[in-house]
Chains A and B, each alone.
Chain A
Amino acid sequence: MITQEYILKEIDRFAEKVKKYDSEYRQKDKLPKNHELRPYRWCSRDIVFSLLMVKHERYGNYLYADLCLIANPPQYYENSGAGVAMGFLLSEAYKCGTTMEIVFGKNVEPRLENGQQKSRVPAYICDLAIDLGVSLKHVFEGHISPFEARQMYMGLAGFSKTAQEKIMKLSVGGKLTPERVCFLVMGGLWSLPEAEALILGSAHPEDVLTSASDPALRHLYLDDLLAARGAILGGVLDRKLLKKELVINGQIVESEDEENDITFDFDEELYAKIYKFGEKLELPWVEGKKVELSPDVSLAVLVRSRTSSEILEGADRDLEHLSALVSKYRGSVVGLLYPRDWEEIQTDRRLSLKRQIEAAGVYLMTSPESVAGLDKEAMRRLETGRMVRHE
């Protein structure tokens, strides 16, 4: 039973550790090792979601949570505090190189059993597990097994069923671990829709997600770069659609914390992104037209991250794919997304191609990103991925 007395006692213990951390590390400009106890707080603005103290327990090779306080702020969706805490604990367990087992210390929601103080897996984390459909078998022993941790990590990352199946297939083949994919998504290197586009839309997602190809292996590296470039261009569109613009004192400001209500899907056959909206939005990057998107109509966008010469070379194939997309998603708004390189095409060729695209009932969208910029970002992500735990 979580009482206010318990919460205050745990905050005191947390404060003591923070003070100790301050004198031992911050003031001496030192960083702690993974196996040393570290205090963390998770907040959004002034709302606290979770307070945690963790360390890597080297002898058992698990993550030890000495303190775990979770809030369930009513302004946010159910189990949001537990989601934040578990996301951190699982990512930390992966980062530290553990087996993914998580053990809670004896002070976490303690109870007396045969005169001994014992811990448990925090009740809010159990609620989250129930919500994700994961059955925790060692709740009153205070630990989460590696198998349960993997299931919870996959559930928290939020992959679609198709993507989960493909990840498990790659895992069985020994090509990619589900924990690594989840870590890359939860760590923010790839957004969830970007990772899904890579997993479902590229021939060798394991190479991109494990940063397997060395730049010296030119062809393999370029193949990874092309796959990453496509996913990133799709991600740029996702973010543009998600961004909420609020009008305050007659001026448009972007909201940091609020996003438009959108659900994402990915068509792996045509490499197209499918969006459904919970509110009215405007289709971005369409020249000279104002296209409104409404909740009853979905949006299907063929994402093609091509240079100007590649656009000309692949134009016929793109038009074929567009007509297939239009007939597959009848009744939807259909778009074709190119990077800014589109503008480098000679004017008469560009206008004739634009007419053909519009004749197919498709809106041409040109992203402000250029292929050079997308490639630079793709290289950065492949390089960052190289530094993440491999196994």
Chain B
Amino acid sequence: MTQCCGKIPVPDDVSEIKKSAEAYGRKFQGDIGESDAAHIAVHELGLNGEFFDPKHTGLDSVYRDDKGTLVLLESKFSLAGRLETTKHGKQGSVEWIRYKAEQMIDPTSSLYSPDNAKIGEEILRVGPEKVHYVKVHRHPETLESRVDWVR
């Protein structure tokens, strides 16, 4: 990051940028982990899907258990499968969930959509400590999946 540099590009630079944008789109590796996690959530954990627009830096998916409690699901498709620590707390912590819920109801934020706003409002109404947070980690080499109920 310290080496991030800006310059006026030459036409060749832009054609390379376009090639990679066309090839990979906005997400690739994450999609594999997320579709796998969705399968586990529905078929193994018996959760019901909620209307939710997954964005780039928010929650991966949202479900509801048989008692009606929200279950936020994070999928990891990497060797370590660690939950990241951010400026607003560790992923899955009460502080982090509250911050994301606040972003989801803010119409200016990239995490906002009408469906996400409803979920964000519910998280803030019941309290972020009262929703579940589950991590589904799929190891990219062994392809084994592990489910952790973080809260």
Question: Is the CB–CB distance between B5 and A42 below 8 Å?
Answer: yes
Q: Report the nearest B residue to A50, measured CB to CB.
A: B6
Contact of A15 among B11, B26, B103 (CB under 8 A): B11
Rounded to whole angstroms, the CA-CA distance of A21 and B14 in the bound complex is 13
Known: A8-B22, A18-B9. A136 touches B4 (CB 8 A): no
Question: Is the CB–CB distance between B18 and A15 below 8 Å?
Answer: yes
Question: Is the CB–CB distance between A7 and B21 below 8 Å?
Answer: yes
Considering the complex, which residues of chain B in the window 77-107 have a beta carbon less than 8 Å from any beta carbon of chain A? 86-88, 102-103, 106-107
Residue in A2, A40, A124, A127 whose Cβ sees the most chain B Cβ within 10 Å: A127
In the assembled complex, the CB of B100 is this many whole angstroms from the nearest CB of chain A, namely 11
In the assembled complex, the CB of B92 is this many whole angstroms from the nearest CB of chain A, namely 15
A348 at interface (Cβ–Cβ under 8 A)? no
Rounded to whole angstroms, the CA-CA distance of A40 and B11 in the bound complex is 12
Rounded to whole angstroms, the CA-CA distance of A74 and B74 in the bound complex is 14
Contact of B17 among A11, A127, A130 (CB under 8 A): A11
Rounded to whole angstroms, the CA-CA distance of A256 and B5 in the bound complex is 13
Cβ of A126: which chain B residues have Cβ within 8 Å of it? 106, 108-110
Main SS of chain B's interface residues? loop
Q: Report the nearest A residue to B27, measured CB to CB.
A: A74
In the assembled complex, the CB of B107 is this many whole angstroms from the nearest CB of chain A, namely 8
B13 at interface (Cβ–Cβ under 8 A)? yes
In the assembled complex, the CB of A2 is this many whole angstroms from the nearest CB of chain B, namely 8
Rounded to whole angstroms, the CA-CA distance of A173 and B134 in the bound complex is 53
Cβ of B17: which chain A residues have Cβ within 8 Å of it? 11, 41, 48, 51
Query: How would residues 15 to 56 of chain A score, 1 for a CB under 8 Å from any chain B CB and 0 otherwise?
Result: 100110110001000000000001111111100110100000
Cβ of A45: which chain B residues have Cβ within 8 Å of it? 3
In the assembled complex, the CB of A172 is this many whole angstroms from the nearest CB of chain B, namely 29
Cβ of B22: which chain A residues have Cβ within 8 Å of it? 8
The total of chain A residues at the interface (CB under 8 A) is 47
Q: Report the nearest A residue to B102, measured CB to CB.
A: A130
Question: Is the CB–CB distance between B26 and A18 below 8 Å?
Answer: no
Contact of A11 among B6, B18, B88 (CB under 8 A): B18
Rounded to whole angstroms, the CA-CA distance of A28 and B26 in the bound complex is 37
A4 at interface (Cβ–Cβ under 8 A)? yes
Question: Is the CB–CB distance between A40 and B14 below 8 Å?
Answer: no
Query: How would residues 53 to 82 of chain A score, 1 for a CB under 8 Å from any chain B CB and 0 otherwise?
Result: 000000000000000000010101111100
Question: Is the CB–CB distance between A127 and B10 below 8 Å?
Answer: no
Known: A15-B15, A131-B87. A4 touches B26 (CB 8 A): yes
Rounded to whole angstroms, the CA-CA distance of A7 and B24 in the bound complex is 12
Contact of A43 among B5, B11, B86 (CB under 8 A): B5
Rounded to whole angstroms, the CA-CA distance of A236 and B94 in the bound complex is 40
